[in-house]
Structure 1
Amino acid sequence: MLSTPWRPTIRGLLVGLAWLVLTTGAAAQPPAHYRTGADGVILPDSSATPGATRPVTVSDLCPIAHTRRVRHVTPAQKHRAYAVYGATPKQGVCCEVDHLIPLELGGSNADSNLWPEPYAPKPGAREKDVLETFLHFAVCGGTLDLKEAQQKIAADWYAVYLEMRGQGPSR
């Protein structure tokens, strides 16, 4: 049997180079680390999840069905969020992939606004959901500025949660 010498093709080289760039880039990204806030509350890594918003007005946000129209987080995005934080997705046990700045406040579906938010220790994901609803009503009711709500929840949602409960500094 005659064998022909191996000759690289341009296409083969490009595919190999693309694979190398993609795998090296993913491996080079430093893992995110949860921050521990006051009272041991788990907060996102602000370098991995700084938060991101969509261009919206208050009148865009206030209709009841608003979030159903804009919630488009793909399974691939959820996988990336878990991978960045080194979390293991276990439905209802570990975490939920959450919007740091919630959709109810004009948050984006961008990766930079997503993080695997733990259910425990409490307050955790479920308590943040209560805060999101509270802030949404405050913004829609005109008692809180939208930009201020976005900035505060992105900086430290737990501090805002304490304010909501009357246990923290007021605005």
Structure 2
Amino acid sequence: MRTVKPLLFIAISSLFCSHLAWAQPAGLPDATRTPGSVDTAVTQGNIQSTVCVRGYTDRVRPDKKYTNRLKREQLRQYQYADTDPRKYELDHLIPLNIGGNPTDPQNLWPQPRDGEWSAEQKNELEFIVYKMVCRGEVSLSEAQQRVAKNWVDAYQAWVPSRRHWLPSRRRHDD
């Protein structure tokens, strides 16, 4: 009986600890593998000649050969149950359109295309936060930091109102 209790304790503790290790919130990358990385050439002072210029992301986006190889490698590292690359988008945690690093693996991760917090919602956030940065509604660094820290929280804060889809309007107070 004395041997059973310690073994039972070890078994339960191991199960609990392994659950904690995998308790990553849905839709978020593993922060140790993908903390985010910025392109140091993009600054608040030059956004109107870099990220806010039409076609910017096409010019800096890495080629498919690089991203396909990295996606396969990261799918193994992330240890997803389903490793079919078609079910994932290799996503820039800090989006290119707000100065995310195009090629740093610390800014890229295999984001599931399905689920509650999928690539579709992240792409919607990316467009809105890009508009906010280019309109001066939020600083480049704040946008980068909030998206990198928790893009789901940023989505919940900035997307639901959809006010960013509309042209800016000034309020006239008497």
- Output the TM-score relative to the length of structure 2: 0.69
Instruction: Please name the residue that 1:72 is paired with.
Output: 62
Contact 1:33 1:45 in 2 (8 A): no
Cα distance in 1, alignment partners of residues 147 and 127 from structure 2: 12
Matched, 1:163 2:157: yes
Secondary structure of 2:85's aligned partner: coil
Match for 2:151: what amino acid?
W
Q: Which amino acid aligns with 2:155?
A: Y
Unaligned 5+ residue runs, structure 1?
1-31
CA distance change for structure 1 residues 63 and 34 in 2, over 3 Å: closer, same or farther?
Answer: farther
Distance 1:139 1:35, change over 3 A: same
Asked whether 1:90 is paired with 2:90, we answer no
Per the alignment, residue 8 of structure 1 pairs with: none
What is the identity percentage for the equivalent residue pairs of Structure 1 and Structure 2?
Answer: 35
Task: Give the structure-1-normalised TM-score.
Answer: 0.70
1:38-57 equivalent positions in 2, closer than 5 A: 41-55=26-40, 56-57=42-43
Q: Which 4+ residue blocks in structure 1 deviate beyond 3 angstroms? A: none
Distance between the aligned counterparts of 1:48 and 1:34, measured in 2? Answer: 15
Greater C-alpha radius of gyration: 1
Q: Could you tell me which of 109, 113, 123 is aligned with 1:115?
A: 109
Give the Cα separation in 2 of the matches to 1:64 and 1:121.
31
Per the TM alignment, residue 136 of structure 1 is displaced from its structure 2 partner at its CA by 0.4
Does the Cα contact within 8 Å between 2:34 and 2:93 map onto a contact in 1? yes
SS in 1 for 2:150: helix
Q: Closer, same or farther in 2 for the Cα pair 1:65/1:162, shift >3 Å?
A: same
Q: What is the aligned partner in structure 2 of residue 35 from structure 1?
A: 24
Partners in 1 of 2:137 and 2:57 — Cα distance?
A: 21
Residue 62 (structure 1) aligned to one of 24, 49, 52: 52
Q: Distance in 2 between matches of 1:159 and 1:120?
A: 18
What one-letter code is carried by the residue in structure 2 that aligns with 1:53? V
Matching residue of 2:132: 138
Q: Which has the higher contact order (CA 8 A, sep 6+)?
A: 2
- CA RMSD in angstroms comes to 1.8
- Report Cα offsets for 1:98-146 as digits up to 9, x if no partner: 0100101111121011111112212311110000000000000111100
Find the aligned partners of 1:123 and 1:165 in 2 and give their Cα distance: 13
Per-residue deviation at 1:33? Answer: 5.1
